Structures are given as structure tokens and as C-alpha cells.
Structure 1
Amino acid sequence: MKNFALIGAAGYIAPRHLKAIKDTNNNLIAALDKFDSVGMMDSYFPNADFFVEFERFDRYIEKIKRNHISLDYVSICTPNYLHDSHIRMALRRGAVAICEKPIVLNPWNIDALADIEKESQGKINTILQLRLHESILQLKEKVVLQNKKEKYDIDLTYITSRGKWYDISWKGDESKSGGIATNIGVHFYDMLSWIFGDVQENLVHLREKHKASGYLEFENARVRWFLSIDENDLPNNVKEKQQRTFRSITVDGEELEFSKGFTELHTESYKKILAGEGYGLEEVKKSIEIVYNIRNNKILKTGEKHPFLI
């Protein structure tokens, strides 16, 4: 049984990490969040110490270390712009870091963390759950077996409606979230680069606060992508069903079914990390470079555009 601490316990994604820690038969000894609405911890680790101030949390971690209680892992579910700092804290305490995506906002942050990782006793892992999804694994296997000479043509569309709260929260601040493509798209870009190889071209056709669109060309695929949190972008048939999310990936005109199968992927991610098979900094670097360039490339009016822009 390993000892865990969790930073960002009141966040949306935290329950999946709590469940993963419990499902892998490990123990949460401490949790931190400046918000105290963390009653769901009772369903997982009611005896874990909880803190609303980082200083007291850090002092507690130091105290247990001096009492020869090991802290083996730190799970990080905080806002994107804080990941870098909290990873560093985990490594300073000799723990392994498990960080939600995006692991950092800029490529040079990864290089700096790699240096610190080498100097520490710990290791840095990130959650890339799409790599564990059955439909994505089948697609990767298909691509390897087919060994096509021509590139695949892919349309990626992801619309996940958000209310007015989004702009008020840290997610609506690009300096903290990295913007729409980083916040809701980074795991898709990771999946695409994992299956189809290195990026050869990265064009941006639309970049607004609530939506973005562009064209990515990989070694083995041409991808038109569209991301949005605006419910007005939902297709009419989705609106009629009163659904607020639309997720679609077509590969050479064939729809990839991956609407289900997400519930246990964090637990599966933890199993791999605990077995020493987690995804580290090198694996995640491509996707961070993609979203950084989307954030900074100039907007073009020409090129292969997503159907939603035509």
C-alpha cells in the first residue's frame, strides 16, 4: 500500500483520482484545496488530513517525513498554470508526481522539469487516458497493420457546452488555462500524434475565447479540427435531444465510436503508473508543442478548413 497526497481536491477531476487511488488499494494521507467543498472525500478517504492553505499542507508533509512516514505519490488536479509548481513540490519531497493534462502550458517548462526530475528521487507522470481507450487502441493497431502509403483524412469535432461561469473561472483566463485548444483539446492532439506521428504542419483558421479551429498534418494523417464550448455550435440533431456535448472523429469518412468507455480510464492509468509504465515528459512533449503553436501561430484565411467553418 502506497501513501498518496492530492492537490486540488475540490476540482472537477479530483473524484476520478480519489477513486483510482482507492481502486488500486492505496492510501490517501493528505489533501489540499483552497475551497473546502470536499465532502466527496468521505466516500473514499474520510481519515485523510485536509488543508486549505498550501503552507500548512507543506509543513504537514515535512512533519510526516521526519516521522519516517513515506509520501510515495502526489496527485495534482489543480488549475493548469499551477501544475509546474506543484510537480516541483512533489519532487522536492521525494515523491512521484501524477499530474492531470496539460502537464504544463509551454514546451520550455517541460525541459526545466526534465532537469529537476534528473536531480530528484521522483518521477513525473501525466494522465493520457485516451491512449488506454479501447477504440483508440484499435485504431492505432489498424493504422500499424494497414501501413497505408496515403495519409488518413480525419475530421475532429468536439463541442462541450459551458455556462457563463467558465469565463469567470481560471479556465476563461488564457494565461492560466492556455486557452480553449489547450484546456479541452490537448488530449486529442496527444492521441493523434501518438497514432499518426510527428507534426509536419500546424495551421490555425479560428482562435476565439470560446472556440478554435485549424488544420494539423502529421506523418500519416491530415486533420481538420474544431473545438468549442459554445452550445450554439452543436448540430441540430444534438440540440433536439437536449444534449450539451458532441464528440466526433471520422477517419477516411468512417465514424470512430468512442462515446463510452471513459469511466475506468483513470484507474487504468494509475495501474500503469504504479507498475512503472506511466507516461512521462517525453511522451507528452509533442502535444504541448502543438497547443503552444496553436496559441501563437498567426490566423490564416486559406487552407484546408473544418466543415463547420465552410
Structure 2
Amino acid sequence: MKNFALIGAAGYIAPRHMKAIKETGNTLVAALDPYDGIGIMDSNFPQADFFTEFERFERFVDKWHRDTHKRIDYVSICSPNYLHDAHIRFALKNGADAICEKPLVLNPWNIDQLKVIEEETGKKVYNILQLRLHPSIIALKEKIEKDLTANPDKIYDIDLTYLTSRGKWYFISWKGDQSKSGGVSTNIGVHFFDMLTWIFGEAEENILHLKTPDANAGFLKLKNANVRWFLSVNSDYIPEEIKAQGQTTFRSITVNDEEMEFSGGFTDLHTRSYEEILKGNGFGLDEVYAPINIVSTIRNLDPIGLTGKYHPFCKKVLD
């Protein structure tokens, strides 16, 4: 049984990490969050020590292994994006491996520094990239690999469309601050860019057509794919037929005009991620470099408008 600590215990994604820790037969020793209304702890690890101040949490982690002669094996990180880098460093320097939500960090140079700390401490950083464990996406990767074995120069045409409605709170919170979340493309898109580069190769060209606080869109030329993408947290851009069904999220990926079905199968992917990490098969720093580089570049690009290979949904915003 491994000992875990959790940073960001009150966040949206934290219950999936608690569930994964529990379902893999491990224990949560301590949790941290500035917000103290987290009754979800009672359903998972009511015995875990809880802190609202980092300094007291840090002291507990240091003192705990001295008093018990045990150690925190893993620190799970569900804090706001801009704090991931610091919290990963905390984990490594305290003798624990880090399991971090996406985006791992905001910029590729942060990864370079974390590699140095991995070498210094002998500990590992793992990123939650659950789409790589989704059965439909694994099947797509296997199909594409077979195609490319027969025709290595084949280029696929892909449209990525992801809209997930967020209310006014989103823009007041850290998620609405680009310096803290990385912006829309980072906050809700980085795992899709990871999935696409994992299957179709690294980015060779990165063009931005649209950048507003609630929507980003652009074009990526990957080694074996041309990708038009549109990401938004504004429900106004969801197709009317989807809204008529009472849906507040719209997700679509087409490969050569063929819709890829992966709406289900997400329930247990965090637990699957933990199972792989505990076996030593998690996704480390090298795997995450490509998508972080993409979103970091997007953040610093100027949009060019309705020019070139833009996603059709751009007209919903710019027309």
C-alpha cells in the first residue's frame, strides 16, 4: 500500500484522484486546499489530515516521515495550472513522485527544469493523459499505425471541435486569467493536442485564426495530419440541434470526414492512469513536451482571422 498526499483537494477533478487512490488499494495521508468545504473527503479518506495553508501542509509532510519512519510515495496535484510547477518541485524535493493533472505546466522550459530536478532527486513526474488510455483512441492509433506502415507519407484531414459551457464564475476565477490557466486552448484543449500528436506526429506548423477570452481556433500541421481546431467555453456556439437536446457540451473529432465516437468510456480512466503509474508505466516529462509546446506557442500568437484553413465554427464568432 502506497502513501499519498493531495494538493488541490477541493477542485473539480480531485474526487477522481481520491477515487483512483482508493480503488488502487492505497491511502491518502494528507490533503491541502485553501477552501475548506470538502465533504467529499468523508466518502474517501476521512482519516486523512487536512490543511488550508501550504506552510502547515509542508511541515506535516516533512515531520510525518520523521515521526513514522514512513514516506509519502506520491503527491497528487490538482491545483490551479500556474501552481503545478511549484507543487511538482515540492513533491520531488520531499522524496515523492508527482502525479499531476493536465496541463502539467504552462511552458516547455518548465519541463526542462523539472527534468533537472528529477535527476537530482531520483524521483519521477507523471502526467494524467487519460485520452491515451481510452479504448476508442487506442483503436484509432492502431489503425493509423497500420495505414502509415503501408503509406508513411499519408496525410489525414482532421476537424477537432470542443465546446464546454462555463458560466460567469469561470472568468472571475483563476481559469479566466490567461497568466494562471494558460487560456482556453491550454485549459480545455491540451489533452486533445496531446492525443493528436501522439497519433499523428509532432507539430510542424501552428497558426491561430481566432483568440477571444472564451474561444480559440486555429490550424495545426502535424507530421501526418492537417488539423482545424475550435475550442470554446461559450454555449452560444454549440449547434442548435445539440442545445435542443438539453446538452451543454459538444465534442467532435472527424478524421477524413468520418466521425470518431468516443463519448463514453471516460468513467474509470483516472483509476486506469493510476494503475499504470503504480506499475511504472505512466506518462512522463518527455511525453508531454509536444502538447505543452503547442499551447505555449498558441498563447503567444496573433490571430490572423478568416484566412487559410480555418475551422468553420470561426464564422460563428467572426461573422
Q: Give the TM-score taking structure 1 as reference length.
A: 0.99
| Deviation at residue 52 of structure 1 after TM alignment | 0.5
Mapping for residues 2-41 of structure 1, pairs under 5 Å: 2-41=2-41
Mapping for residues 93-242 of structure 1, pairs under 5 Å: 93-147=94-148, 148=151, 149-242=153-246
Q: 3-state SS of the aligned residue for 1:102?
A: coil
Looking at structure 2, the residues matched to 122 and 197 of structure 1 have their Cα atoms a distance apart, in angstroms, of: 28
Maintained 8 Å contact 1:95/1:121: no
Q: Which runs of 4+ in 1 moved over 4 A?
A: none
Residue identity in the other structure for 2:309: E
Residue identity in the other structure for 1:36: D
| Deviation at residue 300 of structure 1 after TM alignment | 1.6
User: In the alignment, what sits opposite 2:71?
Assistant: 70
Give the counterpart of 1:281 among 258, 279, 285: 285
| Deviation at residue 38 of structure 1 after TM alignment | 1.0
| Deviation at residue 74 of structure 1 after TM alignment | 0.2
| Deviation at residue 106 of structure 1 after TM alignment | 0.7
Residue identity in the other structure for 1:222: N
Residue identity in the other structure for 2:60: Y
Structure 2, gaps ≥5 residues long = none
Deviations 1:123-167 (A, max 9, x none): 100000000001100100000111243301000000000000000
Q: Is residue 311 of structure 2 the alignment partner of residue 306 of structure 1?
A: yes
Deviations 1:62-118 (A, max 9, x none): 111112121100000000000000000001110000000000001111101110111
| Deviation at residue 121 of structure 1 after TM alignment | 2.8
Mapping for residues 284-299 of structure 1, pairs under 5 Å: 284-299=288-303
Maintained 8 Å contact 1:132/1:268: yes
Residue identity in the other structure for 1:13: I
Looking at structure 1, the residues matched to 243 and 24 of structure 2 have their Cα atoms a distance apart, in angstroms, of: 39
The percent identity for this pair of structures is 63
Structure 1, gaps ≥5 residues long = none
Residue identity in the other structure for 1:133: H
Q: 3-state SS of the aligned residue for 1:122?
A: coil
* Alignment root-mean-square deviation, CA: 0.8
Q: 3-state SS of the aligned residue for 1:28?
A: strand
| Deviation at residue 122 of structure 1 after TM alignment | 1.3
Looking at structure 2, the residues matched to 186 and 139 of structure 1 have their Cα atoms a distance apart, in angstroms, of: 19
| Deviation at residue 307 of structure 1 after TM alignment | 1.3
Residue identity in the other structure for 1:294: I
Residue identity in the other structure for 1:166: Y
Looking at structure 2, the residues matched to 225 and 121 of structure 1 have their Cα atoms a distance apart, in angstroms, of: 38
| Deviation at residue 36 of structure 1 after TM alignment | 0.5
